[in-house]
Chain A
Amino acid sequence: MTRPLPQDPMLRRLVLQAQQAQFSRRNVLKGMGVGAAALTLAACSSGGQSELSPATDVSDTEKVVRWDNWSYYLDVTDGGDYPSLDMFEAATGIKPTYTEAIDDNNSYYGKIKDQLKLGQDIGADIACMTDFMVSRLIRFGYLAPLDYANMPNVTANLVPALKDLDYDPGRKFTLPWQGGFAGIAWNKKALPGGLTSVSDLWDPSLKGRVGVLSELRDTMGCLMLDQGTDISGDWGDDEFDQAMAVLSENVANGQIRNIKGNSYSEDLQNEDTLAAIVWSGDITMLNEEAGDRWEFALPAKGGPLWNDNFMIPMGATHKKNAEMLINHYYDPEIAAIVAAYVNYIPPVVGAKEAAIAIDPELAENQLIFPNDETLANSKVFRTLTSEEEQKYGAEFQALILGA
């Protein structure tokens, strides 16, 4: 400790300060406390974030791409192979890693948000999330802009109606993967007459046997459409509160048994719920898996139309490969293979013609290839402002929690 002090006055002061600090046990403990607080502060600090920029792309040297997606959302064989992904690998030499990592937009967001915020790798180069969530990610500046030079199929085949969306004009950051409807489904044996509108769910004979989705936009979308509100148009608190009143009344009086996400299929299967607000493609899959027991319909007054979208986070290290993957799925032949399996709407022009070659009946399926009439009966839930998103989200969650 008798080394001469450094010349630089700044360093000199620092060294002196360091020497003054005695390492008594209490000081060590105090230091640890301060250290903990500092670490915590670092972990909690929210302000002052700089703009993110895309990570270095190593696509040319590492021929891999990592894709996170929802379950039952890609063609799969009984052996667990994904034929359309195998074709991608054969055509490009890029090895895809496909993970069914997403169960719910919110919980997946919860998992990746810290990395997204810092622009770090989230463990995937590309993931598919629903409109409202990608719109939030765009707002926060978490997504890397797409390079259309790598995606000639997209330029050629993207459905015109999905080219410009209010949350992503010109599709700079996201591209649709699959679309679908929210609507009503019922047990054919218990309700041979079927249902036509959302208000049929409130029939006293169905007391305690009705389920609705825990996705705000789907459930509230159905209810608001039923009350004659155009959910894609200019509506406000009044319309939302009106639909909310109907929902909370039916939760309070026990008409609605449960409010849940993807797992509503279990309730349909064990017949706890006989009628429910559901997602279109699921019912087709469920009928195939568990006997032809249910029927799906768009409500008479319309159902919400949504899309899940490809997005590439800033931290993705194989962006070009991911874009080539998107390009692959915008090939009408490939899109038709996927659509035939997942039963959702492909956003690809020419997929219908290609699907007819696989199975002519597919082209008639309104849930995969809706005609103008069906599309006229469905509406896209308008993008909420961040203020609305917080307010309505809190109200809807409070209802789910019975608060």
Chain B
Amino acid sequence: MAFAAFATGTAKEQAPRRKSRIALLLLLPGILYMMLFFLVPLVSLVMTSLQAPVEFGDIGEYETAFRWENYVVAISTYGEHILRSFGYALMATIFALLFSYPLAYFIGVKARPWPLLQKLMLVMVIAPFFISFLLRTLAWKSLLSDEGFLVSSLKALSLMAPDAHFTGTGAAVVFGLTYNFIPFMTLPLYANLERLDTRLVEAGGDLYARPATTFFKVTVPLSMPGIVSGVLLTFIPAAGDYINASPQFLGGPSTAMIGNVIESNFLVTNNYPAAASLSIILMAVILVMVVVYIKRSGTEDLL
């Protein structure tokens, strides 16, 4: 049908119309792709989340229904996990920001006279990506183990109680999240600070602003787009992460995040409606938080 459009009609008369058809044609693969891999799964997820168990059914047997109570049950059962996920993600994001900002500032601003150093440091930020994220997390697990160097040193210095441990605690999970998502924070910040006009900072000094004042009044507002995208790139995946908090990695029975709950409901208990409704709750909460955050930080043009 689309090809027939090219063949018939004179070009002059239909010029604008033809243009829009070509645009549609060019959009078609994208639209089909989104349909198939975004819209269909999303509709399927929403419908699964409303399914009801088959009466006297076997494990994993559900039928199409409109059981919105699934959401109530999910929130009342796993409300703590939802809060914990966002708490951990928030902490990890703040730590990553505190760690990444000086790093990105150094690479992007202070190291400008030495391009080689700049490149070297960027490589050092990215290099861990060449090794699987799972492997690196497992490596941390053994570095932080009870008989490992770190924990036994801290215990020898009485900085840790003799029967305390690190792996399997919330602190370990937040540590893992921070570590794993730091590059997602550093790179957007670097991309932004690298373009920072230092003359503006100098102007701040010329106007008798203390360095701290210049930093908060000039540098931070200018780097806001970098901060916003870094925070989004860190916070969103961290909230849904199920690797760091899993008992196989850095977590324990008291650190399960929403991702672990979804995984367990989906794979082990085959409670698909619960897993689906939790996924939707997770998506909705993230969406609301991101919109509010972007509105607040005054960078709507990112959307």
Residues of A bordering B, CB below 8 Å: 32-33, 35-37, 39-41, 43-47, 106-107, 109-110, 113, 136, 139-140, 207-209, 214, 251, 256-261, 263, 266, 270-272, 386, 389-390, 393-394, 397-403
Contacts and interface: CB of A to CB of B under 8 A. Distances in A.
Contact of A257 (B168, B269, B271): B168
Nearest 5 A/B pairs, CB to CB: A270-B145, A40-B44, A271-B147, A401-B256, A386-B58
Interface of B: 31, 35, 39-40, 43-44, 47-48, 51, 54, 57-64, 77-78, 80-81, 138, 141-142, 145-148, 163, 165, 167-168, 247-248, 252-256, 260-261, 264-269, 271
Contact of B64 (A41, A261, A386): A41
B256 A46 contact: no
Contacts of A140: 58
Contact of A266 (B58, B64, B77, B141): B141
Given A272-B147, A400-B256, A402-B255, 4 more contacts: A43-B44, A136-B59, A208-B163, A402-B253
Given A44-B48, A46-B61, A403-B80, A272 B165 contact: yes
B81 A401 contact: yes
Contact of B44 (A44, A113, A139): A44
Contacts of B40: 36, 39-40, 43
A214 B263 CA distance: 14
A263 B265 CA distance: 20
A107 B165 contact: no
A140 to B, nearest CB: 7
A325 B142 CA distance: 40
Nearest to B246: A260
Contacts of B254: 402
Contacts of B60: 113
* Main SS class of interface, A: helix
Given A40-B40, A272-B146, A272-B168, A400 B163 contact: no
A272 B62 CA distance: 40
B54 A266 contact: no
A375 to B, nearest CB: 30
12 contacts: A37-B43, A40-B40, A40-B47, A46-B63, A113-B60, A209-B146, A258-B168, A270-B142, A271-B146, A390-B59, A394-B269, A401-B261
A108 to B, nearest CB: 10
B54 A394 contact: no
A266 B163 contact: no
Contacts of B43: 36-37, 40
Contacts of B54: 46-47
A261 B264 CA distance: 13
Given A271-B147, A400-B253, A402-B254, A44 B64 contact: yes
A399 B142 CA distance: 25
Contacts of B44: 39-40, 43-44
A107 B246 CA distance: 15
Nearest to A46: B63
A192 to B, nearest CB: 17
B207 to A, nearest CB: 55
Contacts of A399: 253
Contacts of A260: 247-248
A403 B78 CA distance: 7
Nearest to B57: A386
Contacts of A393: 59, 268-269
